[in-house]
Amino acid sequence: MTSPMHAADSSSASLLEIMQCGIEHCMQLLQVLHREHTAVTSNTPELLEQAAQEKLYWLRQVEALVDARSDGLRAAGVTGDPQSAAPGLTAHPDVVARWQQVQRILVECQRQNQINGSVIELSRRHTLRALSLLRGQSADQTVYSASGEAFGPPPPHMLATA
């Protein structure tokens, strides 16, 4: 029969393992986001597609660990997330430290993802401007309907066709 103290040690060890996996998975996600940035800035569609697939994979892994973390916290007798459950985690300072590290890495992931999104948006605008010019439209001819939908006047003449 397992003693309550042994069960607490076991759940703490399990939480530590989950948090360590979380750190590793979040670091993998951050590395993928850096590769995505390189692909975006070097205008390499193949690398961008590969990075997008890897990013999706690591996001799913991180989401699965969030679920495992919640289960591990419940098994340790702690309810809620580590922030609101901090008093219940005083017996698990290593778990708290690792959770804080996961959060720091995720903040960096979010920052890098926003940077990547901004670069992609600028590239999209540049491409749309180039297409407008090829269609013989001024890039400044965009008009908005009452519902906020953007549209431009029909092109007077095409500069080129594919």
* pLDDT tens digits along 25-83: 999 999 999 999 999 999 888 999 999 999 999 999 999 998 888 888 777 777 665 55
What average pLDDT score do residues 132-147 get?
A: 68
Reported pTM: 0.70
Neighbours of 27 (CB within 10 A): 16
Q: What is the DSSP letter of 43?
A: T
- Rounded Cα–Cα distance for residues 115 and 101 (Å): 21
- Rounded Cα–Cα distance for residues 96 and 83 (Å): 9
| SS3 category, 156 | coil
**How confident is the model at residue 108, as a pLDDT?**
97
- Rounded Cα–Cα distance for residues 30 and 36 (Å): 10
Backbone angles phi, psi at 109, to 5 degrees: -60, -45
**How confident is the model at residue 162, as a pLDDT?**
56
